[in-house]
Chains A and B, each alone.
Chain A
Amino acid sequence: MVRGGGAVQVVRPADLAQAHEAMASSTAAGQLVSIRAGGTKQDWGPPLAPAPDLVVDTTGLDALVAHNAGDLTAVVGAGMALSRLQERLAGAGQWLALDPPSQPRGATVGGLLATGEAGPRRHRYGSLRDLVIGVTMVLPDGTVARSGGQVIKNVAGYDLAKLLCGSQGTLALVTEVSLRLHPLDAHSATVRIPATPTEATPLVVGLLAAPVVASALDWAGGALWVRIEGSAGGVRSQVEEVRSLAAEGSAPSAVLEGEEEARAWEELARIEAGEEGDTLAVATSLPSQLAEVAEASDRAAGEVGVAADLVSRAGLGLHTARLRAEDLGAHAGFISAWRRAVQRLGGTVVVRRHPPGLEEVADLLGPPPSAVEVMGRVKDQMDPGHRLGRGRFSPWWL
């Protein structure tokens, strides 16, 4: 990474003081700064532009500062890899209820917070936004600030952790995160129900209305996947209930457990994570609009001649389309066609991962929301020089 002939400087702070030092000195030098952790999502969204002068690598901030098992809380360095955190927590029968597709590739807690990425179990537990109870951050000018705390219930002061969730590393460097944990369930089973999106939609609606508590409710690869977790008896009876609901319509369902179940979810996560060169676009809708969103994706893909694989968080109305053809024009065509259709349904389409250059031919973020001006003012307040993650929300602001 080279800009204007000068090499990019990389710092890897080992503690808050060094993080403060790095940010404060970047102010004096007027450097453009970007934050990097696991590096699994640097190709998400609009690219950094121009390239940063300073990259802050957070992987040195990787301590498990505290695990208060009895309080169901933990405090971790932002650079800690999620998979390593999960290993540490598992000893106490707990976990951070988050299973993002990028976890096996080394995603960190801070990176997940900044990008808002979550996985299938978001259906039951929400995303990191719903699990974070406090943050320590360093602003681009070096100011160190905290919000929230270390207790699950707390309404003192503004909840700035929420603001940082999904901020794509453009407001502050997160150094430490306090988290709410959940117990690991003893038993798990997944019901696989073969169904087209059109067949799956009434099932999704039916499952939402049923007293079943699913951990995940995804549509992908020609099937609806319903994961149930809990005690042995609870899983058994709910699996039966799901199967009997499914029996009313479609092809026979299968129940996956153990290794087979784990492999099936890993496979779905691989599709959702994509590979280098792929474009991943995420559409939002109401859960009942699954069939329409999927149909719109097929149509858009057909029009421009690409293959689009869809992974839908069906119960939540979040749909990831993965495009593989390395034809930027086709990707751009798909995005605008799909977005037009999804907007008519009341949703949005945003591009996550994409090959370099797509930003030149496609609108990655779509139309700005009505609150774009306040968002811009929040950015101005936190980072007046717009030095942090410049480009990530282009063209909404610098």
Chain B
Amino acid sequence: MGALEEVKAELARVLPPDAVVTDPAELATYSCDGLAGYRTTPGLVVLPTSTEGVASAVRACSARGVPFVARGSGTGLSGGALPHAEGVLIVLSRMRRILEVDPVNQRMVVEPGVTNLAMSKAVAAHHLYYAPDPSSQVVCSVGGNVAENSGGAHCLKYGFTTHHVLGLEVVLPDGSVVELGGRTLDPPGYDLRGVFVGSEGTLGIATRVTVRLLRLPEAVATLVADFPDPSTAGEAVSGIIASGIVPAAVEMLDNLAIQACEAATGAGYSLDAGAALVVELDGPREECLGRFGEVEAICRGAGATRVRVAGSEDERALIWKGRKAAFAAMGRLSPGYFVQDGVIPRTALGPVLARIAHLASEAGLRVANVFHAGDGNLHPLVLYDPDRPGEPERAEELATRIVELCVDAGGSITGEHGVGVDKACSMPKMFSEDDLAVMARVRAAFDPAGICNPGKVFPTPRLCGEVIGPYRPHPLELAGVAERW
């Protein structure tokens, strides 16, 4: 009996019958996450309902060196939950109990399969919410959020998952169960919770998550300002930051993105604007509304052609609906498109967009831009026609060149979608061999056998070919004191 067969037999014994999936047709439904370009049918799928169930599955794998992959809701956009053909996919979606709500201390303990929005809904009556709000919040799981260090439109002011997770119960790759962090701050020892968040399922499986909750703001004010072009809109953002305001959110759409959002939602964005800026402030009423007046003035001063202030909660919701529809709406403009995710220093927006436009015209393709303008997270959408020979390949190449451009501008290959399989081969663009080797050492401390979500995050010769990415100088070389070593 092969190792995987042994795992199957053991798990059929220890898990309830409906928690073990072996039917090929059903297995195939788990073959990809939100990045459908990569597909692998898992060797086995299990759906445990408890920490003990997860630990049993992991122990069974660990005993035989069989790889395993965690999966939450499968909305990941970098192939992080791509299964292993000879391995076990451990699906957490049946672990969706809210275990504890402590409104007084503004904490909550949940199982990993609970969706992001369900957490906020469960505490709304206490005027509390869970701050990180990825656009996928209706569906994505908090376990997936932890693995990806997910953020949303409000993260410039409120931070990412890592700022809101206090404690984790984790099944380590050897099947043992430990607590990382805790319910109180500053538990003694190394901050392993800090490394686990954002590790994309490569260090273990989170089976319980303790988060802190925030008081809902007393006031929220939102406006949409139209600008002739993204650069001018960028100037307005600079003005807002320079006046000492940290907006709850600043989002920018270029004209192509506006066209798509309007077609899909009719949210009231101006079709003739070169760029639209959504600015939201929140906080104590006086503070929020006083500064909101300043924001309006700054937008006008920077050359806004129209400023629309949301006059009601419904209008605010509609503005956000338009913005959040951006990715899905692109289907109305183009039969195929890639959603890219890169980060630039916000102030480099003008030159970077110009460069993207140049690359796009060289490639004969259109690129729409959606931008978390406060924190520099750029989402270029590369449009293509799948039926035109060569176009998908050209589009993919353009998308890759755009993230490289982000790195060259001093940014990052990913702001929220993660590395997964998708960008593992781009990691050497950002990190030296030594940088990656040190990360691999940390990984080895958690997973010496390398069975926990293998083939993700780290570039491998198998995935990327023998030559991994172009050479980038090491900090020591930049300092002019070392040769390549």
Contacts and interface: CB of A to CB of B under 8 A. Distances in A.
A352 to B, nearest CB: 11
Classify chain B: how many residues form its interface, as a range.
Answer: 35 or more
B362 interface: no
A237 B347 contact: no
Interface in B416-450: 416-419, 423, 427, 430-432, 434-439, 441-446, 448
A361 interface: no
Interface in A7-46: 15-17, 20
A377 B445 CA distance: 5
B155 A237 contact: no
Contacts, number: 288
A25 to B, nearest CB: 15
A20 B476 contact: yes
Contacts of B197: 159, 162
Interface stretch (B20-28, B29-37, B284-292, B392-400): B284-292
A209 B215 contact: yes
B244 A183 contact: yes
A346 B215 CA distance: 24
B475 A16 contact: yes
B217 interface: yes
Nearest to A71: B345
B275 interface: no
Interface in A331-358: 346-348, 350
B432 A129 contact: no
A209 B215 CA distance: 6
B272 interface: no
A145 B475 CA distance: 9
Given A159-B197, A234-B284, A238-B286, A145 B434 contact: yes
A86 interface: no
B415 A154 contact: yes
Interface in B219-243: 238, 241-242
B411 interface: yes
B274 interface: no
Interface in A140-174: 143-147, 149-160, 162-163, 165-167, 171
A150 B407 CA distance: 10
B183 A346 contact: yes
Nearest to B294: A231
B347 A68 contact: yes
B258 to A, nearest CB: 23
B246 to A, nearest CB: 7
Nearest to A20: B476
A285 interface: yes
Contact of A369 (B189, B345, B412, B444): B189
B345 A285 contact: no
A380 B246 CA distance: 41
A71 B189 contact: no
Interface stretch (A77-85, A210-218, A251-259): A210-218
B473 to A, nearest CB: 12
A368 interface: yes
Interface stretch (B45-53, B372-380, B461-469): B372-380
Contact of A233 (B188, B217, B287, B437): B287
B135 interface: no
A365 to B, nearest CB: 5
17 contacts: A70-B347, A93-B242, A126-B163, A144-B474, A145-B434, A153-B151, A153-B416, A155-B412, A155-B414, A155-B415, A158-B199, A160-B439, A230-B287, A237-B286, A286-B102, A317-B185, A377-B448
9 smallest CB-CB distances across A and B, nearest first, come from: A162-B194, A234-B287, A183-B244, A211-B218, A17-B481, A284-B184, A377-B445, A145-B438, A381-B441
Given A145-B434, A159-B197, A381-B444, 20 more contacts: A15-B479, A137-B438, A149-B410, A153-B416, A155-B412, A155-B414, A156-B413, A158-B443, A159-B162, A162-B195, A186-B244, A213-B287, A233-B286, A233-B290, A234-B283, A237-B286, A284-B187, A288-B105, A317-B184, A348-B188
Interface of A: 15-17, 20, 68-73, 93, 116, 126, 129-130, 136-137, 139, 143-147, 149-160, 162-163, 165-167, 171, 182-186, 205, 208-213, 230-231, 233-234, 236-238, 241, 282, 284-288, 316-318, 346-348, 350, 365-366, 368-372, 374-375, 377-382, 393, 396
Interface of B: 102-107, 126-127, 148-149, 151, 155-156, 159-160, 162-163, 172, 177-180, 182-195, 197-199, 215-218, 238, 241-242, 244-246, 283-288, 290-291, 343-347, 372, 375-377, 410-419, 423, 427, 430-432, 434-439, 441-446, 448, 457, 474-476, 479, 481-482
